[in-house]
Amino acid sequence: MGAMTSADTYRGLSFWHDTVPDSLEPGDALPGDLQADVAIVGAGFTGLWTAYYLAKQAPGLRVVVCEREIAGFGASGRNGGWCSALFPASLAKLTRMAATGRAGAIAMQRAMQETVDEVGRVAAAEGIDCHWAKGGTVELARSAAQLERAKAEVAEAREFGFGDEDLRLLGAAEARALAAATGVIGGTYTPHCAAIHPARLARGLAAAVRAAGVSVFEQTPVLWIEPRRVVTPLGSIRADYVVRATEGYTPALPGFQRAIAPVYSLMIATQPVPDAIWDEIGLANRPTFGDFRHLIIYGQRTADGRLAFGGRGAPYHLGSAIRPAFDRVPAVFAALWGTLIEMFPVLRDVHVSHWWGGPLGVPRDWCASVGLDSSTGVGWAGGYVGDGVATTNLAGRTLADLITREDSPITQLPWVGHRSPPWEPEPLRWLGVNAGMRAMELADWEEARTGRPSHAAAFMGRFLGG
């Protein structure tokens, strides 16, 4: 995909881009060959957080960030705005991965919880008004099968020593008081999430790293990376460390075609909703919300009183293709709107003002990772499966510690140094990813028809984050 040049075009990427206070005019491109200490590829959250903590910990380092478009162009600027403690791999899976077993899984979850507050701390310290509202997350159970999953999730949390203060089961009345959707019979609540305006955070973070002396070169596509060298059409950067922070766009780099599958998630945003309707819906403290269906949905009440709502369902494209046309799938937008008014019929006469989408990064084993190969100087982070707003912050801090050789507790977490296996070659990848999504749709249909937990979902769970 070629570089875009128009600030108006960037503003049209999403509701979030459309409502940031800055102009979205691209910054300077790479002026030619450079020498640096650290070269970061990608100015999304991963790259920007890494640059931010490097600048704080080692102000003398020459840190350079290269971005094909503008800072916050990709998933960092288009997501659902959940700054949550969610991690794509389960506690059980982390236990199997970690050299320290159960203790490592618990440490990972605690680190994620602390990271939510760290993002809020930095936003406040840097004067980034990202509409921060730590209202937690309510996940609704709207069928007997969904309620069983809610109970199982709480039971697993208890097994690992997490109490009501981390995740609690809600009765029907409690859940409806938070989010008065139709058919609610229970749910869960965790305080470990803030609703944010993601593009405001991404753009504010880019300004903060520039102010700290980091060079952020926009309109600078990276052709390939190699040990201690980044190659662009505008020049090469030689650096002791090269960090790949490209998430869903990773397959465009030579040698990484099977590292990540870019899967599209799409969103809609309503016009501002009248207060009388909000009184019926709830979401008073701006908790993020979803339910326990298999095909993921997610939403938030924005600071200006809209409902921003998204979900999966768009197809994976053969060859990990990424194109602007894939950001908008009318059938998926229609399904999202149908789901939203099925949950909250009072919204039926409220108009949708924005619809958008973009790719997120899914590794083969559904487990995010961060690491640094000391022999080559190449670092990486990604594979967040849509749970990246907070996880990228933990990744950035971890990479900064690894690069500066700071032996901190976060460098010992189980995702550090983890390497996901490659995806299958095409067309097997296309068949597998899309079959997985169709299976989740089938599972929701099956549960709605039978009232019992889906066999299809239980089978597919073995291949996902469990």
DSSP 128-181: -----B---EEEEE-SHHHHHHHHHHHHHHHHTT--TTT-EEE-HHHHHHHB--
Distances in whole angstroms, Cα of residue 303 to Cα of each of 11, 19, 236, 273, 286: 19, 11, 42, 11, 8
Query: Across the chain, what does the average pLDDT equal?
Result: 94
Has residue 121 been placed in a domain? Answer: no
- Band (455; pLDDT cuts 50, 70, 90): low
Q: Quote the pLDDT of residue 318.
A: 93
Q: Quote the pLDDT of residue 319.
A: 93
CB 289 within 8 A of CB 301: no
- 438 pLDDT exceeds 90? no
* Closest to 247 in 3D by CA, of 320, 349, 147: 320
* Closest to 170 in 3D by CA, of 194, 154, 193, 182: 154
- 47 pLDDT exceeds 50? yes
Residue range(s) defining the domain that contains residue 240? 7-80+198-261+365-412
Q: 347: which residues sit within 8 A by CB, 6+ positions away? A: 270, 273, 277, 281, 307, 340, 341
CATH of the domain at 49: 3.50.50.60
Q: What is the mean pLDDT of residues 254-261?
A: 96
Q: How many Cβ atoms from other residues are within 10 Å of residue 328's Cβ?
A: 14
The more confidently predicted of residues 450 and 458 is 450
- Band (290; pLDDT cuts 50, 70, 90): very high
Among 44-58, 105-119, 198-212, 424-438, which stretch is predicted with the lowest mean pLDDT? 424-438
> Using CA atoms, how far apart are residues 44 and 24, in angstroms rounded to an integer?
14
In angstroms, the first-to-last Cα distance of the chain is: 34
Torsion of CA 329, 334, 339, 342, to 10 degrees: 180
373-401 residue pLDDT tens: 999 999 999 999 999 999 999 999 999 99
Q: How many Cβ atoms from other residues are within 10 Å of residue 117's Cβ?
A: 15
Q: Quote the pLDDT of residue 70.
A: 98
Has residue 379 been placed in a domain? Answer: yes
196-218 residue pLDDT tens: 999 999 999 999 999 999 999 99
For residue 235, give the H/E element and its range: strand 235-244
Q: Quote the pLDDT of residue 460.
A: 56
Q: Quote the pLDDT of residue 466.
A: 55
- Of all residues in the chain, what percent carry a pLDDT higher than 70? 96
> Using CA atoms, how far apart are residues 157 and 192, in angstroms rounded to an integer?
13
- Of all residues in the chain, what percent carry a pLDDT higher than 90? 89
Instruction: Give me the residue label for tokens 């753009």.
Output: 203
Has residue 220 been placed in a domain? Answer: yes
SS3 letters across 9-30: HHHCCCHHHHCCCCCCCCCCCC
228-249 residue pLDDT tens: 999 999 999 999 999 999 999 9
66-85 residue pLDDT tens: 999 999 999 999 999 999 99
Has residue 381 been placed in a domain? Answer: yes
- 35 pLDDT exceeds 80? yes
Instruction: Give me the residue label for tokens 């990064």.
Output: 361
Q: What is the mean pLDDT of residues 420-424?
A: 96
* Closest to 146 in 3D by CA, of 170, 162, 163: 170
Has residue 296 been placed in a domain? Answer: no
- Band (107; pLDDT cuts 50, 70, 90): very high
**What is the distance, to the nearest Å, from the Cα of residue 162 to the centroid of all Cα atoms in its chain?**
23
Has residue 244 been placed in a domain? Answer: yes
Has residue 108 been placed in a domain? Answer: no
Q: Quote the pLDDT of residue 82.
A: 98
336-382 residue pLDDT tens: 999 999 999 999 999 999 999 999 999 999 999 999 999 999 999 99
Give the total number of structural domains in the chain.
1
Has residue 350 been placed in a domain? Answer: no
The more confidently predicted of residues 137 and 444 is 137
- 3 pLDDT exceeds 70? no
> Using CA atoms, how far apart are residues 291 and 143, in angstroms rounded to an integer?
10
